[in-house]
Structure 1
Amino acid sequence: MDPLTLGALVALITIVVLFSGVSVATGLLIVSAGFLFAFDGLRSLELMPEVFFGDLNSFALLSIPMFVIMGSAISSTRAGADLYEALDRWLTRVPGGLVISNLGACALFAAMSGSSPATCAAIGKMGIPEMRKRGYPDGVAAGSIAAGGTLGILIPPSVTMIVYGIATETSIGRLFLAGVIPGLLLMGLFMAWSIYSTWRQQAFSGALEARSFSWKEKFEILPRVLPFLLIIAGVLYSMYGGVATPSETAAVGALLCLLIAIIIYRLWSPKSLWVVLRDSTRESVMILFIIGAAAVFSYMLSSLYITQTIAAAIGDLDVNRWVLMALINVFLLVAGFFLPPVAVILMAAPVLLPVITTAGFDPYWFAVILTINMEIGLISPPVGLNLYVINGIAPDIKLKTILLGSLPYVGCMILAIILLAIFPGLATWLPNLVMGDAI
């Protein structure tokens, strides 16, 4: 069978298997085993365990459970509520100040946890009821948190960037730096839309209710923000100050978060700590299982010459490189609608990397573009993980309302991709400045 036809068959069967309800990792293993057995015989199945565990035998992978512990420790405390309250006191008089407070809290919390669902849950529990109480529409209240939570996979430290670095053998430290300015840009676009939409809402329905805080109340809350800044500074200094590798830096971040949870938020009971470690282990194993299964899936594609044929076919397309990038973006966007970011990166990045580098695109710039596409998938049905997290926090808000409220922020993400295409230095300038030009 022709490799391209075989590739289409693999894609079709993979979609069917994943939609059957099995987990992503299990589905990838089933498809891989079936095609290897059908086309290479029983002998090829003997290599599956070696490929699976061989791909997990990487020191860089240690950073994933460490960053997961970091996010879980913070999510188990009042840290998100304190961060939200501090920003609320300072921004309450700004048009759309409460929405901006939530987006700022999402950005800072995302920088510590690296998890979009955790960011949505932590900030949404406080932010959504408060916004609704002060007269903000349900769509604005829910949509802004759902969109703000997506910043968790772009602003460093980011688990998805770590996975991309491992899958493409690129520098994780450089990837983290590449996400800083685009992450701030995206947050700025979110805030600009929030200010405009709130101003428009006030023009039609009168001013929204705003609380008033004294200067004493504003300053007394600032010490609660200090631990967050210390964590971010500690992680960044460890990584870029030459103190530690990304994996060791993740351990530093996890330790700092656990210490803050224990000392400041009094999370010292064995039962509470056990919950943090249990949930972290569960999520880490899930991610690592997907990584191992994706390695087997990639091995199957390569063994049957599907990867090489697709890459060559795309490379031979007589189209402008920006048309090619537009097609890749459409593919990533559709894939993000149905699969979690980690799965898409592990399956697509190794295939697409030689194509985009041959076309003259920077792999670190492409990592940011890919991640923003995955962010759109997090607030788009049918998977739309953040939509369901928000729906769980505020079950009386219809899923349709949450989706419609998040659509303007999808427009902001598309605008960010366009700006990055016009000004690629937004993603490449900081890594080149700090770490030198990529070779």
Structure 2
Amino acid sequence: MDPLLLGAIVAIITIVVLFSGVSVAVGLLIVSALFLIVFDGPRSLELMPEILFGKLDNFALLSIPMFIIMGASIASTRAGADLYEALERWLTRVPGGLVISNLGACALFAAMSGSSPATCAAIGKMGIPEMRKRGYPDGVAAGSIAAGGTLGILIPPSVTMIVYGIATETSIGRLFLAGVLPGLMLVALFMAWSLYSTWRSGDAGVLSAGSYTWRQRLEILPRVLPFLAIILGVLYAMYGGIATPSETAAVGALLCMVIAMVIYQLWSPSAIWTILRDSTRESVMILFIIAAAGVFSYMLSSLFITQSIAEWIGTLDVNRWVLMGAVNVFLLIAGFFLPPVAVILMAAPILLPIITTAGFDPIWFAVVLTINMEIGLISPPVGLNLYVINGIAPDISLKTILMGSLPFVACMVIAIVLLCIFPGIATWLPDMVMGPAL
């Protein structure tokens, strides 16, 4: 059978299996086993355990559970509420200061936790009721938190970037640095739209919310600064040549646990057990997907599907930007239905040779791919962040949350366009800190 036709059949059956309700990892294993048996015979299944466990034989994978523990420790405390309150006290006299403080709190909490749903829940519980009380439109209140939560997979340390680095054998340190400036750019675009939307609504009452004394502003900082110091310490240890990403993640996880215990009095054995239990569950889920994706990639390669797709695209006489546009459309559609980790593990090994052959930087592409995944987090039918916000504020309809999120989707599209025009936004910082890539 023609490998391209076979690839189309694999894609259709994979979509059907994943939509049947089975987990992503189990679905990938089912599809892989099915096609290996049909085309290579039952003996091909003997290799599956070796490939499955061999994919996990990677020291860099240790950073995933460590960063997840780091995020879970923070998410289990009042750190999100304190971040929100601190920024609110410092920005209260700035026009639209409350929405800016919410987006700023989302960016900082996302950087500390690396979890989009956790960011939405932690900041949204405080921010949405306060914004609505002060007259902000429901769409701005809900949409800004939903969009702000997506920053967790872009601003370092990012589990998504770690997964991309492992899947494509790309430097995780460079990927982390590449996400810094695009992440700040997205925060700026989100803030610009929120301020414009607030001004356009004509609700002058939302522009001012009283004032705080200097003592009130300073007294909350001791609760926030240790977490910010951990972020800076993690990045310094990683880029200062002190430790590897895995070692840095382990130290960061330990420090976050200690701070959660000391500052937030998280001494209860049940609370600590909950952190470790939830972190283990999420880590196993991600690692299982990574292992299953390894088997799926082997099946595609064994049937010459990956090679044929790359060869076919290489023969297309199209402008490389038309090709990149098609790749972006594919990523957007995939992100609407699948979690970011699954999309990266399934698509990155296939797309990487295509985009490098077309002359695109794989580090730059990682940022573009991640922003596409962010769009998927606030877009139906999956749109995880939309449902998290709806759970926090059930009296705000899902339609209102969606409509409030759409302008932020436009901001992300603008960010992708800016990255295409000025790729240095993603590549300048890694090249400056770590030197030009070889």
**What is the TM-score when the length of structure 1 is the normalising length?**
0.98
Counterpart in the other structure of 2:181: 181
How far apart are residue 214 of structure 1 and its match?
1.9
Cα distance between partner residues in 2 of 1:54 and 1:32: 16
Moved more, 136-145 or 158-167: 136-145
1:90 aligned partner = 90
Amino acid at match of 1:207: G
C-alpha contact 2:114 2:157 (8 A) present in aligned 1: yes
What amino acid sits opposite 2:36 in the alignment?
Answer: L
Q: Deviations over 1:23-43 (max 9, x none)?
A: 111111111111111111101
> 1:212: how far off?
2.2
Contact 2:223 2:263 in 1 (8 A): no
1:154 aligns with 2:169: no
Q: CA deviation at 1:342?
A: 0.2
Deviations 1:300-353 (A, max 9, x none): 111110000001111111000111000000000000000000000001001111
Amino acid at match of 1:156: P
User: How big is each residue's C-alpha offset from its partner over 1:129-148, in whole Å with a ceiling of 9 and x where there is no partner?
Assistant: 11111111211111100000
Give 1:267's aligned residue.
266
- Equivalent positions of 1:268-283 (< 5 A) are 268-283=267-282
Specify the code of the residue in structure 2 equivalent to 1:388: Y
User: 2:164–2:366: 8 Å Cα contact kept in structure 1?
Assistant: yes
Letter in 1 for 2:375: I
Kindly state the Cα deviation for residue 236 of structure 1 after the two structures are TM-superposed. Answer: 0.8
Contact 1:95–1:198, Cα closer than 8 Å, also in 2 = no
Count of paired positions: 437
Q: Which amino acid aligns with 2:294?
A: A
- Equivalent residue letter for 1:269: S
- In the alignment, is the contact (CA less than 8 A) between 1:103 and 1:144 conserved in 2? yes
- Alignment match, 1:431: 430
Kept after mapping to 1: 8 A contact 2:131/2:141: yes
Q: Indicate conservation of the 8 Å contact 1:115/1:153, yes or no.
A: yes
Aligned to 1:329: 328
Deviations 1:269-325 (A, max 9, x none): 111100000000000001011101111111111111000000111111100011100
Residue identity matched to 2:127 = G
Q: Is the 8 A contact 1:239 1:246 kept in 2?
A: yes
1:418 aligned onto 2:414: no
For the residues of structure 2 that align with 1:381 and 1:215, how far apart are their CA atoms? 44
* Secondary structure at 1:421 match in 2: helix
What corresponds to 1:242 in structure 2? Answer: 241
SS in 1 for 2:95: coil
Partners of 2:411 and 2:365 in 1: CA distance: 18
**Secondary structure of the equivalent of 2:205?**
coil
Whole-angstrom CA distance in 2 between matches of 1:313 and 1:249: 42
Q: Would you say the 8 A contact 2:64–2:283 is kept in 1?
A: yes
Q: 1:76 aligned to 2:104?
A: no
Q: Which residue in 2 is equivalent to 1:349?
A: 348
Q: 1:73 touches 1:276 (CA, 8 Å); kept in 2?
A: yes
Q: Distance in 1 between matches of 2:392 and 2:204?
A: 28
Superposed displacement of residue 211, structure 1: 3.1
Question: 1:37 corresponds to which residue?
Answer: 37
Deviation at 1:245, TM superposition (A): 0.2
Does the 8 Å contact 2:91/2:101 carry over to 1? yes
Deviation at 1:222, TM superposition (A): 2.0
Aligned to 1:66: 66
Deviation at 1:207, TM superposition (A): 2.2
RMSD of aligned C-alpha atoms? 0.9
Aligned AA for 1:328? V
Deviation readout 1:339-368 (Å, 9 max, x if unpaired) = 000000001001111111111100000000
User: Any idea what the Cα deviations from partners look like across 1:95-139, whole Å, max 9, x if unmatched?
Assistant: 221111111001111111111111111111111111111111211
Secondary structure of the structure 2 residue equivalent to 1:56: coil
Alignment of 1:267-306 (within 5 A): 267-306=266-305
Q: Please tell me whether the aligned partners of residues 108 and 228 of structure 1 are also in contact (alpha carbons under 8 angstroms).
A: no
Q: Give the drift of 1:230.
A: 0.9
Q: Aligned partners of 1:108 and 1:167: how far apart in 2?
A: 27
In 2, Cα distance between the equivalents of 1:270 and 1:225? 24
Q: Deviations over 1:51-95 (max 9, x none)?
A: 111001110000000000000000000000000000001111222
Displacement of 1:233: 1.3
Unpaired runs of 5+ in structure 1? none
